[in-house]
Amino acid sequence: MNIGIIGAGNIGATLARKLARAGHAVRIANSRGPETLRGLAEQIGAQAVSARDAAQGAHVVILSIPLGKLPLLREFTTTWPNDVVVADTSNYYPIRDGNIAAMDDGQVESLWVSEQIGHPVVKAWNNILAVSLADKGLDRGAEGRIALPVAGDDTGAKARVMSLVEDTGFDAIDGGPLAESWRQQAITRAYCSDLTADELRAALRTADRARAPQLREDMVKAYLALGDKITTEDIVRLHREASARASIETH
């Protein structure tokens, strides 16, 4: 497939590397322009482009920038053809994105994103830490393969993104329509816990919407308390512990 990626940070660059390795033609963009990305693009076998040009000829565009910056893309996203599938990797963190009233009032994050950019989105890769995304992918059928949920309203668009999730080394699980994608937001049981397919299905089924925002704030405090020493394994452990506590309290 032809894939455009807007965002060349922890997640965007990792996806670019993996999808190029899987044989896709990848164009990648950041906020500062293609000349700042040429080294990375060459190294991973992608083409550096401007964000405005990322969707040119693309079957799928992946948005992987901080959620609070996504409305800035609207100046060109509203002109994208309907058949361009847009995947959204974003999560709402008020500490980074500022408080956004719609989501503080409970709007599902990717519905807000879709409204902001004026194009439907499929939510994917939002619930895996960048280091797990880079290092923990496995071949199809491998025991213990981590599973990731993919939520969206258009069956064909969702299937396309699910096939890319598989190409990045993870089982793709149908997360339902976008309105249900709160089940994979921060911080639910499905979030950054590196679960297998059966574990993920159970986590999505038993997600606790009401507690998620408070758990997200608690988790940010826990990250900050661990400071620079924090590792991916610490974060996965903190998430699993929070889920276990939440399920004990609700039973």
Ligand X SMILES: NC(=O)c1ccc[n+]([C@@H]2O[C@H](COP(=O)([O-])OP(=O)(O)OC[C@H]3O[C@@H](n4cnc5c(N)ncnc54)[C@H](OP(=O)(O)O)[C@@H]3O)[C@@H](O)[C@H]2O)c1
Q: Which residues bind ligand X (CB under 6 A)?
A: 6-12, 29-32, 51, 64-67, 69, 72, 89-91, 126, 128-130
Q: How far is the CB of 73 from ligand X (least distance, A)?
A: 6
Rounded Cα distance between 26 and 194, Å, is 26
Q: Residue with CB nearest ligand X?
A: 9
Q: Which is nearer to ligand X, 22 or 40 (CB)?
A: 40
DSSP class of residue 151 equals B
Q: What are phi and psi of 234, to 5 degrees?
A: -60, -45
Per-residue DSSP letters for 78-138? Answer: TTS-TT-EEEE-----HHHH---HHHHTT--HHHHHHHHHTS--EE-STTS-HHHHHH---
Q: How far is the CB of 251 from ligand X (least distance, A)?
A: 29
Q: What are phi and psi of 72, to 5 degrees?
A: -65, -20
Q: How far is the CB of 37 from ligand X (least distance, A)?
A: 8
Mapping DSSP to helix (H, G, I), strand (E, B) and coil, where does residue 65 land? coil
Q: Which is nearer to ligand X, 30 or 160 (CB)?
A: 30
Q: How far is the CB of 250 from ligand X (least distance, A)?
A: 26
Q: How far is the CB of 122 from ligand X (least distance, A)?
A: 14
Q: Which is nearer to ligand X, 132 or 250 (CB)?
A: 132
Q: Which is nearer to ligand X, 31 or 78 (CB)?
A: 31
Structural tokens at position 161: 């993104």
Q: How far is the CB of 38 from ligand X (least distance, A)?
A: 13
Q: Which is nearer to ligand X, 155 or 172 (CB)?
A: 172
Rounded Cα distance between 103 and 70, Å, is 14
Rounded Cα distance between 68 and 114, Å, is 13
Q: Which is nearer to ligand X, 4 or 7 (CB)?
A: 7
Cα of first residue to Cα of last residue in the chain, in angstroms, is: 46
